[in-house]
């Protein structure tokens, strides 16, 4: 009897979780759909913002083209979707939090708000850095190959893919301090090791800057490398902080 009652309670608990998951997913999808509709209405404005790093280095008579009959329509759909995802992401993250928070311990909950805020700010910082600094420099270099024999015919679809890939890459690269924090919590790295490897890290950073900044201009590569070096130094500080928190947690348990 008791076993049956326990199984029934567990089943009800699982049902409640599934109902809660459905509610949170439904709200997130409704928000995403509403955002999609708004973003599609303003698709030309969003397109203008997205293409500005390219158009400011192109000649006035240059323009993007589309080759397939449906390419422009589906590319605009992608633009609206990506923009909607960005705009509604705070609300979607809130729904994720409302679903997960009942199962988290108070000690685990204290990391959630700082994690969400810091990771969001770092990601946005990386995207803005890529948009305002790296993309115009890279496009200026690529377009410099235009001459009387070669003229670029730039595809709308290919540009969107390049734009999203570039900015996503920079946004994720700026998450380095968050990544280091969790590696430190897992005991894989520590602040002392990161400090000892600083010279090698700087070398790797400049190599990455040389690859991500196609322009041979040394100033552009330095502008690219400086934020990454700052992020590495911040990562060392974050690692020290994570070590301190880990020691405090172990002392409390002891």
Confidence of residue 25 (pLDDT cuts 50, 70, 90): very high
Q: Name the H helices within the chain.
A: 2-41, 43-55, 71-100, 106-129, 135-143, 156-173, 176-185, 191-196, 198-212, 218-253
The pLDDT score that the predictor gives to residue 214 is: 56
pLDDT at 24 over 90: yes
- Crossing angle, helix 43-55 and helix 2-41, to 10 degrees? 70
The pLDDT score that the predictor gives to residue 216 is: 63
pLDDT at 159 over 80: yes
165 near 227, Cβ under 8 Å? Answer: no
Q: Which domain holds residue 234?
A: 14-246
61 near 15, Cβ under 8 Å? Answer: no
Other CB atoms within 10 A of residue 178 CB:
16
Any domain includes 1: no
Confidence of residue 57 (pLDDT cuts 50, 70, 90): confident
Any domain includes 50: yes
The pLDDT score that the predictor gives to residue 221 is: 75
Any domain includes 100: yes
The pLDDT score that the predictor gives to residue 50 is: 94
pLDDT at 179 over 80: yes
- What's the whole-number mean pLDDT along residues 232-243? 91
Any domain includes 121: yes
Any domain includes 9: no
pLDDT at 192 over 80: yes
Share of the chain above pLDDT 70, in %: 90
Any domain includes 2: no
Confidence of residue 11 (pLDDT cuts 50, 70, 90): very low
The pLDDT score that the predictor gives to residue 76 is: 95
Any domain includes 4: no
For the whole model, what pTM was predicted?
0.80
pLDDT tens profile 74-102: 999 999 999 999 899 889 988 998 888 88
Number of domains in the chain: 1
28 near 89, Cβ under 8 Å? Answer: no
Of 6-15, 24-33, 62-71, 231-240, highest mean pLDDT: 24-33
pLDDT tens profile 201-224: 999 888 887 776 655 667 767 877
Any domain includes 252: no
Nearest residue to 141 via CA among 202, 211, 229: 211
């Amino acid at each position: 009897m008791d076993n049956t009652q326990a199984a029934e309670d567990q089943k009800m608990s699982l049902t409640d979780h599934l109902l809660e998951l459905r509610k949170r997913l439904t709200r997130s999808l409704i928000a995403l759909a509403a955002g999609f509709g708004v973003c599609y209405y303003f698709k030309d404005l969003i397109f203008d913002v997205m293409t500005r790093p390219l158009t400011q280095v192109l000649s006035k008579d240059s323009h993007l083209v589309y080759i397939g009959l449906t390419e422009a329509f589906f590319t605009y759909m992608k633009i609206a979707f990506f923009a909607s995802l960005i705009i509604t992401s705070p609300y979607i993250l809130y729904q994720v939090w409302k679903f997960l928070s009942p199962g988290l311990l108070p000690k685990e909950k204290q990391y959630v708000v700082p994690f969400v805020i810091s990771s969001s700010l770092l990601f946005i910082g990386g995207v803005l850095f890529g948009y305002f600094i790296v993309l115009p420099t890279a496009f200026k270099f690529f377009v410099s190959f235009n001459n009387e024999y070669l003229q670029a015919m730039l595809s709308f679809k290919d540009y969107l893919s390049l734009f999203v890939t570039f900015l996503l890459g920079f946004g994720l690269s700026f998450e380095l301090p968050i990544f280091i924090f969790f590696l430190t919590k897992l005991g894989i790295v520590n602040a002392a090791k990161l400090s000892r490897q600083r010279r090698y890290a700087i070398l790797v950073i400049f190599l990455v800057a040389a690859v991500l900044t196609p322009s041979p201009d040394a100033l552009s590569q330095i502008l690219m490398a400086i934020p990454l070096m700052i992020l590495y130094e911040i990562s060392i500080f974050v690692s020290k902080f994570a070590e301190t928190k880990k020691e405090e947690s172990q002392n409390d348990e002891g």
